[in-house]
Amino acid sequence: MPAAHNTRRRVLLMAGILLLACAATAGAGPGAQTPDQAVPRTATLDEILKGVSSYNGGIDSAALWKLRDYIYARKDDPAGRAECERKLLEFLKTPAPPLAKMAACRYLRVIGGDSSVPALQAMLSDTRTADMAIYALQQIPGGTAEKALLQALSTANPATRNAVIAALGARQAVAAVPALNELLQQPASGPAAALALGRIGGDAAAKALTAAYQGAAPEVKTAAARSMLMCAEQRLARGEAGGALELYEPLASDTSLPLPVRKAATMGRIASAGSGAPGIVLGLLGGTDADLQEAAIARIADVFAPDAIAPVCSLLPRLPAPAEVKVLAVVAHYPRELVLPSVLEAARSSDLPVRIAALKALESTGGPTVVPLLAETAARARGPEQTAARTTLGALRGREVDEAIVTLLARQPADDVACELIRTIADRRMYPAKRAVAGALTSASPRVRVEALRTLRTIGTPSDVPAALDLLLGSMDEVEQTEAETTIVGLTQKIADPDGRSDAVIARLAKAETPDEQVRLIRVLPQIGDASALPVLRAALEGDDPDVFDAAVRAFTEWPSSSARDDVLKLARDSRNETHRLLAIHAFIRLAGLDPYRDPDAAVADLRLAAGFSWRPDEEKLVLGELTKFPCQDALELAEGFLRDPSVAAEAQAAIDHIMEHLSKEAIPK
């Protein structure tokens, strides 16, 4: 190699070594710091604002966060806050784009004071900066900001003026009332001025609004009316009912106003009328205007004392149905003895919504005497009426109601009524009524028996299992048998010791007299899931009766936990009955994947076994589905083995993709 080339190579090598040394030094710990590498310097506000000045509303917001941190660290320190304010104001004078300046205004909203006002006020006259100026100015407290806004009323363009008006309203700037009063007459600003006056409130504002309302163009008139409502509310809150009435009365009768305004005014009028209020309400209720009726109904509770509701009740039957529904909802909160007769009459109405409303009202007005009515309605009605009756029956207060339910049930009412009463016992959690319900298990009516079974799930105890077993074994009806099974399972779950839950069923199985009884009892065991029953099932497999054998096989294949794994495996491997074999293979696959925290290798080994038993694509697809729960190398290999079979290739590929995704995530260092 030529000497010059060698030299160049040596120089390059030395340079490379030097570079590496510098890099190493830069990444070294504190002990290796050079004199220039101290703790990173906190950026100055000028530097931060320079970064902000290029903000365009996009993703590059790092400078905004620095600005926030800088200002928030100093906002509670007067000197720091003043410095921030000054810098932000200087920034506003720069040619930075609007979005950048808005960032500054966000913080002037938080920290700005009197010294910010001149700059912000100047920005009001520029449509590009007016919004951001108001964003800050509206929230700066004190007279200086308020004065600036007031001044802007006469200098700003119409769009900005309305925003300034809104700001004054939000600030409840009383000093703005005279200026806003003048603006009421201007079509472009009138509605905004009316709105602001409403928010400011007070007598001067109310006076201005009243005058404007009387003479204004329609859009200002409506706005003024709305604001008069607000002023009236304020008077009412101060106890000035007379003053409130002065504002409400003209609005309530002005048919040129939108209906919602008149209704609101009517409600207000009633609220302000003092001793005259009941008369107004009754007059409106008895009238023909449905909308004003609604306004009157809204005030009944405020106007009629608990012992004075009789006149309203007497009007009930004469009201149109929609109004009667609303009034019933109100009187439901009045003393029972005063309103119950009216509610009961409404419960017999020919109008469905009225009956439903009455049934709902009975929840608070009814007592034990309404139990028969509710039970019969619940039994015979359908849809929302039935729901209302049932709900009320379940919610009626008082132990006497419980007693009335049990008493009525003891009189052996019609089946449908009995069922409703039994259902209600569950709804009300009437545990003391358990005996009565258990007695219903021997009713001649299948419907009643089924209802009793269902209720026992709620209020029954494990001591009710024998009676439910009697029903299970004695019934010829499949629906009833299923209900009995569910009840037995539910009751046994209340036994604290999980290993003793099947005891009652096992004991009964030992006494079973026919294969059919054995089958019915065996069917319950997997639903209970108590592993102590497994030996019983194994014994059943040894018997001669094919139905019992079939029941035992199915019980194993439905077992809810992996304690039946070995039994299921044996069935999958050795059954000569194809149906049993398929059931066992399905169950084995299910059990393999049952516990997501299981050792993946063991789970995959079981799935490999299951795959070996399978001869149909359906089972292979099940295996592939379970494989994805255990993403490991073995699972991957097993899934890959299925790729050759076109009937499951797509599922195999999906499983492979899923497993690979998990494996690759695990490979990425955290």
Partner 1 sequence: MDKRGCSRREFLKTVPRAVAGAAAFPTIVRASALGRGAVPPSDRIVMAGIGFGMQGPPNMRSFLGKGEVQWVAVCDLDDRPLFRARDVVNEQYGNEDCATYKDYRELFARGDLDAVSIAVPDHWHAILSIAAVQAGLDVYGEKPFTHSLREGRLLCNAVKRYGRVWQTGSWQRSVENFRRAAELVRNGRIGRVQRVEVGLPSGHFDFARTFGQDTITSPPPGFDYETWIGPAPWVPYCKSRVHMNWRWNMDFGGGQLMDWVGHHLDIAHWGLGFDYTGPVKVTGTGEFPTKGIYNSPTKYWVEAVYADGTPMVLAGGYPEIQSGTTWIGENGWVWVNRGGFESQPAQLTREVIGPNEVRLHRSRDHYQDFLDSVRSRALTITPAEVAHRSASVGHLGVIAIETGRTIRWDPATETLIDDPGAERLLSRAYRRPYQIPA
Q: Within 244-303, which residues bind partner 1 (CB under 8 A)?
A: 258-261, 263-264, 267-268, 294-295, 297-298
CB 416 within 8 A of CB 447: yes
* Residue 550: other Cβ atoms inside 10 A: 17
Residue 41 in 3-state DSSP?
coil
- Judged by CB under 8 A, which stretch of 1-9, 42-50, 61-69, 596-604 contacts partner 1? 61-69
Contact with partner 1 (CB under 8 A): which of 395, 414, 512, 605? 395
Site for partner 1 in 115-134 (CB under 8 A): 130-132, 134
Q: Which two tokens stand for residue 454?
A: 């269902």
Please say which residue, 132 or 212, places its beta carbon nearer to partner 1. 132
Site for partner 1 in 340-379 (CB under 8 A): 353, 357, 360
Tell me what percent of the chain is helix, strand and coil, each rounded to the nearest 5: 75, 0, 25
CA angle 457, 460, 462 (to 5 degrees): 105
Smallest gap, in angstroms, from Cβ of residue 230 to partner 1?
A: 7
Contact with partner 1 (CB under 8 A): which of 162, 210, 492, 628? 162
Give the torsion sign (CA, 585, 591, 593, 594). Answer: positive
Please say which residue, 282 or 356, places its beta carbon nearer to partner 1. 356
DSSP string, 321-338: HHHHHHHHHHHTTS-HHH
CB 197 within 8 A of CB 168: no
Q: Is residue 579 involved in binding partner 1 (CB under 8 A)?
A: yes
Q: Is residue 230 involved in binding partner 1 (CB under 8 A)?
A: yes
Site for partner 1 in 408-467 (CB under 8 A): 428-429, 431
First to last CA, the chain: 48
Contact with partner 1 (CB under 8 A): which of 89, 90, 114, 135? 135
Contact with partner 1 (CB under 8 A): which of 391, 486, 575, 653? 391
Please say which residue, 83 or 550, places its beta carbon nearer to partner 1. 550
Site for partner 1 in 66-85 (CB under 8 A): 68, 72, 75-76
Please say which residue, 147 or 326, places its beta carbon nearer to partner 1. 326
DSSP string, 126-179: STTTHHHHHHHHTT--SHHHHHHHHHHHHHS-HHHHHHHHHHHHHTT-GGGHHH
Please say which residue, 212 or 636, places its beta carbon nearer to partner 1. 212
User: Alpha carbon of 506 to those of 161, 500, 523, 617: distances in Å?
Assistant: 86, 10, 12, 38
If you search the block for the tokens 């009884």, which residue do you land on? 517
Q: Is residue 478 involved in binding partner 1 (CB under 8 A)?
A: yes
- Judged by CB under 8 A, which stretch of 157-165, 241-249, 437-445, 607-615 contacts partner 1? 157-165
Q: Which of 405, 528, 556 is nearest to 462 (CA)?
A: 528
Please say which residue, 198 or 631, places its beta carbon nearer to partner 1. 198
Contact with partner 1 (CB under 8 A): which of 190, 198, 201, 278? 198
Smallest gap, in angstroms, from Cβ of residue 329 to partner 1?
A: 4
Under DSSP, the state recorded for 116 is G
Contact with partner 1 (CB under 8 A): which of 170, 315, 512, 541? 170
Return the amino acid letter for 238.
Answer: R
Please say which residue, 230 or 636, places its beta carbon nearer to partner 1. 230
Q: Which of 111, 122, 176 is nearest to 146 (CA)?
A: 176
If you search the block for the tokens 């809150």, which residue do you land on? 237
Contact with partner 1 (CB under 8 A): which of 138, 189, 365, 455? 138
Contact with partner 1 (CB under 8 A): which of 122, 329, 594, 654? 329
CB 544 within 8 A of CB 552: no
| Angle formed by the axes of helices 290-297 and 259-272, nearest 10° | 40
Smallest gap, in angstroms, from Cβ of residue 233 to partner 1?
A: 7
Contact with partner 1 (CB under 8 A): which of 9, 93, 318, 399? 399
DSSP string, 548-615: HHHHHHHHHHT-SSGGGHHHHHHHHHH--SHHHHHHHHHHHHHHHTT-TTS-HHHHHHHHHHHHHH--
Q: Is residue 615 involved in binding partner 1 (CB under 8 A)?
A: no
CA angle 529, 532, 533 (to 5 degrees): 65
Site for partner 1 in 533-562 (CB under 8 A): 550, 554
Q: Which two tokens stand for residue 272?
A: 């302000």
Under DSSP, the state recorded for 494 is T
- Judged by CB under 8 A, which stretch of 202-210, 222-230, 413-421, 463-471 contacts partner 1? 222-230
**Interface map 30-59 toward partner 1 (x if CB under 8 A):** --------------------------xxxx
Phi, psi of 112 (to 5 degrees): -65, 145
Q: Is residue 518 involved in binding partner 1 (CB under 8 A)?
A: no
Q: Which of 575, 657, 650 is nearest to 620 (CA)?
A: 650
Smallest gap, in angstroms, from Cβ of residue 599 to partner 1?
A: 26
Residue 394 in 3-state DSSP?
helix
Smallest gap, in angstroms, from Cβ of residue 363 to partner 1?
A: 9
Return the CA Rg of the chain.
Answer: 41
Under DSSP, the state recorded for 532 is G
- Judged by CB under 8 A, which stretch of 241-249, 279-287, 397-405, 466-474 contacts partner 1? 397-405
Please say which residue, 179 or 230, places its beta carbon nearer to partner 1. 230
Q: Can you tell me the distance from the alpha carbon of 428 to that of 420, in angstroms, rounded to the nearest whole number?
A: 12
Site for partner 1 in 623-652 (CB under 8 A): none
Smallest gap, in angstroms, from Cβ of residue 20 to partner 1?
A: 32
- Judged by CB under 8 A, which stretch of 154-162, 272-280, 483-491, 641-649 contacts partner 1? 154-162
* Interface size with partner 1, residues (CB under 8 A): 84
CB 545 within 8 A of CB 515: yes
Please say which residue, 431 or 615, places its beta carbon nearer to partner 1. 431
- Judged by CB under 8 A, which stretch of 226-234, 307-315, 436-444, 530-538 contacts partner 1? 226-234
